[in-house]
Structure 1
Amino acid sequence: MQVHTLDKAGIINELQFGRGISHAVEQGRRADFSLLLAMFSADVRDNTPVEQVEQPLTSDDILRKRFALQNPQALRNDQSSYAISARQADMFHHGGLASAKLAHYLQPEVLTYLPEDTQDLPEDVYLNLSGHERRHLAQKTAPSLIPADLYPQLNTAWRQDQIHAQV
């Protein structure tokens, strides 16, 4: 399903709008002002530095590597699980229940088939999230910290706005 491009705009603060907010305030355009404010992210982590926590390798992973065990049965589907399921169904139709069980023990089928690209959430819950929340869920890496030069950026934006007002 296509998500609106406005959801993916990723508007965090007023620097991304330029002079749009100040013009809306000066000219008394309440609808424009409220629309621009509604597009801001409600997540405080967008403007606050977040420390990245490193997770050590779990003991289960270490033991599986040490004793050369196969991976445990997957809980949810991915693209390869459809081929495994089709192979097991074919084994059942041609060889019966014993053949299907053997195929399952050699390469277990996933426990559940969930919709893809919903970040492990039910589809109705995922579609009810805001664009900012979807963006945070889709990020695979930790968000970057606030730049160290935030105040110079704010000062530069303010000076540029003053220059545009004089011209």
Structure 2
Amino acid sequence: MTTIINEWQLDCRLNKAINQQHRADFALWLAFLSPAIDEMAEFQTPKTESAAESTNLYTRFSLPQPRGYGWQEHDIARLNQHSQALNSGGVRQLKMQQYLAEGPLVLADDKAKLASEVVQNLDAHSKRRRDGGEVNRTEADPTALYEMLQQMQHRAA
């Protein structure tokens, strides 16, 4: 069974449940949908190739790259500087030194690491996104709208 992500995969089941006032069915189909905004049907627009250049602001303004949160090889010297600042100038000097040269926040910077209790409580859509599951997008057909309008016009006439 494939994961239901947006309204296109439900076809007209949500609409039928609302029109026939089947609240339980509507709530069930609505619960299957992904809560992620970028996966909703309104945002599944056709991909267009753009020639826009990606500008890296760090290189443009000659800024240093942001530091990672984990331990790096040059952090021993940095922490020694922090220790000397604390001994020589107190807490104020230490804070100034930390603002100028940040130290590590964690020993190992593992972005995918979550506690097992948290992983067990994730819903199916969050687990799919965490595992890297991609959304199977169906490309929008701009001519389909014209055909639907023609059918509606023939029915109304």
Give me the TM-score of the superposition, normalised by structure 1: 0.39
Give me the TM-score of the superposition, normalised by structure 2: 0.42
The structure number with the bigger radius of gyration is 2
Higher relative contact order (CA 8 A, sep 6+): 1
